[in-house]
Amino acid sequence: MARIACFVEKYNFSDQREALALQNFQRTAEERGHEFKFLFREGIPEIPKYDAVFIRATTDPLYTAYIVSKTAWELGRKVIDDPESIQICGNKIHLYDLFKKHNVPHIPTLFLNKEELHHKRLLEVFEAFGKPIVVKAPYTSFSRYVEKVACETSFRDVAKRFFRKSDVLAVQAFMPTAFDWRVGVLNHEILYVCKYMMPKGRWKHGAKRRGKPTFIWGRTVSLKRENAPARLKEVALKACEVIGHGLYGVDIKEANGNHVVVEVNDNPSIYAGYEDLRSKDLYGKIIAYLAD
Amino acid sequence: MKPTEFLNSSIKDFTLNLNNDYRYLKTGYYVSMHAEVLGNPVIPTSGNIIDAGRTPILLLKASKTGIPTLPYLVTGSIKQIISELGFPVVVFAVNPFSYDGFKIAKNKSALYRTVKSLSMNYKFTVCAQPLKGEMISFKSIFGKCEVDGVISRISERVYEVFKIPICKLHVQRVGDEAYLCGLQPLKMEEIFPSDLEMVSAAISRMSKKGEHLVG
Q: How far is B130 from chain A (nearest CA, A)?
A: 16
As a whole number of angstroms, the distance between CA A63 and CA A20 comes to 24
Chain-chain contact of B4 with A83 (C-beta, under 8 angstroms): no
Does residue B154 fall inside a structural domain? yes
Last residue of a domain, one of B130, B157, B176: B130
Do residues B198 and B184 share a domain?
Answer: no
Last residue of a domain, one of B108, B130, B152: B130
| Confidence at residue A288, expressed as pLDDT on a 0 to 100 scale | 98
Q: How far is A117 from chain B (nearest CA, A)?
A: 13
Do residues B137 and B161 share a domain?
Answer: yes
Do residues B137 and B189 share a domain?
Answer: yes
A-B C-beta contacts closer than 8 Å: 87
Do residues B200 and B161 share a domain?
Answer: no
| Nearest-by-Cβ selection for A87 from B4, B46, B73 | B46
Q: Which residues of A touch B65 (CB under 8 A)?
A: none
pTM here is: 0.94
| Nearest-by-Cβ selection for A64 from B7, B80, B94 | B94
* Mean pLDDT for chain B overall: 92
Instruction: Identify which of A4, A7, A1 has the alpha carbon closest to the alpha carbon of residue A52.
Output: A4
Q: How far is B125 from chain A (nearest CA, A)?
A: 7
Domain count across chain B: 3
| Confidence at residue A142, expressed as pLDDT on a 0 to 100 scale | 79
Does residue B59 fall inside a structural domain? no
The range of the structural domain enclosing residue B188 comes to 133-193
- Indicate which CATH number applies to the domain containing B112: 3.30.1490
Do residues B138 and B104 share a domain?
Answer: no
Do residues B13 and B38 share a domain?
Answer: yes
A117-171 pLDDT tens trace: 999 999 999 999 999 999 999 998 877 899 999 999 999 999 999 999 999 999 9
Instruction: Identify which of A261, A207, A222, A270 has the alpha carbon closest to the alpha carbon of residue A238.
Output: A261
Do residues B163 and B189 share a domain?
Answer: yes
Do residues B118 and B105 share a domain?
Answer: yes
Closest residue, chain B, to A137 (C-alpha): B25
Does residue B64 fall inside a structural domain? no
Confidence of residue A206 (pLDDT cuts 50, 70, 90): confident
| Confidence at residue B49, expressed as pLDDT on a 0 to 100 scale | 96
Q: Would an 8 Å CB–CB cutoff place B60 in contact with chain A?
A: yes
Do residues B174 and B161 share a domain?
Answer: yes
As a whole number of angstroms, the distance between CA A92 and CA A97 comes to 8
Last residue of a domain, one of B130, B149, B166: B130
| Confidence at residue B204, expressed as pLDDT on a 0 to 100 scale | 85
| Confidence at residue B169, expressed as pLDDT on a 0 to 100 scale | 96
Do residues B199 and B148 share a domain?
Answer: no
Does residue B91 fall inside a structural domain? yes
Quick check: A281 pLDDT over 60? yes
Does residue B159 fall inside a structural domain? yes
Q: Which residues of A touch B74 (CB under 8 A)?
A: 41, 44-45, 64, 67
Q: What is the ipTM of this complex?
A: 0.94
Instruction: Output Rg (C-alpha) for chain A, integer angstroms.
Output: 19
Mean of pLDDT values over A254-274: 95
How many helices (H) and strands (E) chain B has is answered by 8, 10
As a whole number of angstroms, the distance between CA A32 and CA A193 comes to 25
Residue B28 burial by CB count (10 A; 0-12/13-18/19+): exposed, middle or buried?
Answer: buried
Per-residue CA distances from B26 to A24, A34, A165, B31, B126 (Å): 40, 42, 8, 9, 22
Confidence of residue A211 (pLDDT cuts 50, 70, 90): confident
Sequence-ordered alpha helix ranges (H) in A32-76: 64-74
DSSP string for B122-158: TTSEEEEEE--SEEEEEEEETTB-S--THHHHHHHHH
Do residues B201 and B179 share a domain?
Answer: no
Does residue B160 fall inside a structural domain? yes
Q: Would an 8 Å CB–CB cutoff place B96 in contact with chain A?
A: yes
Does residue B62 fall inside a structural domain? no
Does residue B57 fall inside a structural domain? no
B94-144 pLDDT tens trace: 877 777 779 999 999 999 999 999 998 998 899 999 999 999 999 999 999
**Can you list the domains of chain A with their CATH numbers?**
3-81 (3.40.50.2300), 108-173 (3.30.1490.20), 176-266 (3.30.470.20)
Chain-chain contact of A70 with B57 (C-beta, under 8 angstroms): yes
| Nearest-by-Cβ selection for A165 from B25, B80, B124 | B25
* Weakest mean pLDDT among A21-25, A43-47, A100-104, B4-8: B4-8
